[in-house]
Amino acid sequence: MQLMQGARNAILLMALAVAGAMPVHARNIIDTAATAGTFSSWLNAVREAGLEQALKEQGPYTVFAPSDEAFAKLPAAQRDALKDKETLVKVVKLHMAAGKILLKEAKEGTQIKTEAGEILTIHRKNRAVLLNEAEVLEPDVEVDNGVINVLDSVLFP
């Protein structure tokens, strides 16, 4: 199981590296995540919440993008909750923060205020960076309008 997770992470990192080689005009949060190919569920949630243009054209934003694998392991009750537009918007905004925040540089206990008005706290466990309880699989993928951090879990308020 650990080997499979490691292989998935390697594929994800390669996809993000390829996305980083994209032409400058396409190096925004949305296009970079779409090119990586492992964020379809998160991108759909962003679109349904009406926040795609903001993450494509505005910024800077720091996003905490759950992988498709993170969405797949959501309990049924949380998946059902995302069908409610108000809940969906809040969950998507919980994965966004204004400004360019680099997690590698953040200290233990650093707090980040999200666009949903909630506070996320950075923890360090061994060599892992955690955002609340979610592990950051790939921190600090810088793009023209912000930073993408890949999470292993979907954050809920």
Question: The CATH number of the domain where 88 resides is what?
Answer: 2.30.180.10
pLDDT at 25: 47
Instruction: Tell me the pLDDT tens digit for each residue of 57-79.
Output: 888 999 999 999 999 999 999 99
156 assigned to some structural domain: no
Give the chain's domain count. 1
72 assigned to some structural domain: yes
55 assigned to some structural domain: yes
This prediction has a pTM of 0.82
pLDDT at 11: 47
| Helical pair 40-48 and 85-94, crossing angle rounded to 10 deg | 120
pLDDT at 6: 43
Is 8 buried (19+), middle (13-18) or exposed (0-12) by CB count in 10 A? Answer: middle
157 assigned to some structural domain: no
88 assigned to some structural domain: yes
Q: Does the structure show a pLDDT above 70 at 18?
A: no
67 assigned to some structural domain: yes
pLDDT at 81: 96
CA-CA distance, 71 to 75, in Å (whole number)? 9
* Domain span at 127: 2-151
45 assigned to some structural domain: yes
